[in-house]
Amino acid sequence: MFDILKNFESKYSQLKKKGLRIEGLNMIDPKRKKHVIMISKPFVFDNRSLPKSYEGLEIKAKIEGSLPDEFKPNTDKKEYLWAPSRFEQYVDRCAVEIRKKFNNPLMTREEMLDALAFGNFEEHKKKCIVLVQEGKIPPFGVN
């Protein structure tokens, strides 16, 4: 298992310049002995450059640093932090800065949304709609 982690570190080491930190292996389910590769990254990070899993181990990420205003929790009401509308509002407000951060002046709105929203914005949006219908997350506004 440590070989898998070493291979992962080797393959994605170039992303460390962009803020990726590989924290190591973590057991998330002791009964089934399920391990994951834990990483941390800044909020503005191109998630398309990382896989969801690597050689059978799921990748679990956490955000390091502060979140943009659109993602600050509203204490008055229950809201889903990762609601698609929040990503859309942030991209619409900060497109110029996001393009600069990714060093891509021609990046489209859809590309920015995909990069920030876990690699595939439309997939994330569909998943959120299902979670709302199942009552697992509160309803969110749609842009």
Of 47, 63, 79, which residue constitutes the final position of a domain?
63
- The answer to whether position 140 is within a domain reads no
- pLDDT 10s digit of each residue in the chain, 143 long? 889 999 999 999 999 999 999 999 999 888 888 999 999 999 999 999 999 999 999 999 999 999 999 998 877 678 899 999 999 999 999 999 999 999 999 999 999 999 999 999 999 999 999 999 999 999 887 65
Same domain, 76 and 46: no
**Per-residue pLDDT, 140:** 81
Map tokens 């679990």 to a residue. Answer: 60
**Per-residue pLDDT, 28:** 86
- Residue 74's domain comprises 69-133
Looking at the structure of the chain, the number of domains it has is 2
Q: How far apart are CA 61 and CA 41, in angstroms?
A: 7
Same domain, 43 and 81: no
Same domain, 19 and 39: yes
- The answer to whether position 104 is within a domain reads yes
- The answer to whether position 120 is within a domain reads yes
**Per-residue pLDDT, 113:** 98
Side by side, the strands of the sheet bearing 34-41 are 21-29, 34-41, 57-63, 53-54
- The answer to whether position 143 is within a domain reads no
Q: How far apart are CA 97 and CA 20, in angstroms?
A: 19
Q: Residue 3 half-sphere exposure, CB side, CA atoms within 13 Å? A: 1
Same domain, 58 and 73: no
Same domain, 55 and 75: no
Same domain, 98 and 116: yes
**Per-residue pLDDT, 142:** 60
Same domain, 80 and 58: no
Helix (H, G, I), strand (E, B) or coil at 50: coil
